Amino acid sequence: MEARAISSLKELDEYFKMQKRSFLLLFKKNSSQSEIAYQNFVTAGSEFTDIGIYTADVESVKDIHPVFSVTSVPTVLEFQEKNLKNVYKGAHDPGYFTAIFDNAVYKARAEKAGKPVKNVVVYTTPTCSWCNTLKSYLRKNQVRFSEIDVSKNDDAAREMVNKSGQQGVPQTSVNGSMVIGFDKSKLNRLLEISE
């Protein structure tokens, strides 16, 4: 979808009625960071048709950023209908924007199909072969997950041990339920995978 320039908060409210999920880039024309963010946001957004992709220059559109307490640009606001869900600050590469748009599309499709979106976190280390097996299995079954390398994140490692009582990896949190190792039957049950 081509990014649409928004001229007012009222116009943005009208577009919210047409899209369940939307992204709005607030930027300042002729600012180098904003120009980079704008190009990357628009480039990434052109690949998506299931979500709203909008832009607003804060120099000419002055009624949006105060409502959402935005004090610096570039900033991307993510909405579910009219509700603000996430705020992404700074100039990011197109791959970053593609990832957040892709995640929104995935959630929208799951909701449309009547399936609840599961929060899946995989705790790994770079040298763990079972971690790679687990991640491949999740990808094969189109399960969205976030990965945390506990060898580089002490807080996450402590959190993992507090949740499971175990130090080994891989470990997977599915909506807060911990799965130790590559326990295929438990993963299938929690993730509703049928083989």
pTM: 0.64
Which among 136, 172, 169, 176 has a CA at the least distance from the CA of 151? 169
What pLDDT digit, counting tens, does each position of 93-122 carry?
888 888 788 878 777 777 777 777 788 999
* Contacts for 23 with CB less than 8 Å, ≥ 6 apart: 41, 45, 51, 52, 53, 54, 76, 77, 78, 79, 100, 101, 104
Q: Is 59 helix (H, G, I), strand (E, B) or coil?
A: coil
What pLDDT digit, counting tens, does each position of 13-54 carry?
999 988 888 999 999 999 999 999 999 999 999 988 889 999
**Could you give the domains of the chain?**
4-112 (3.40.30.10), 120-191 (3.40.30.10)
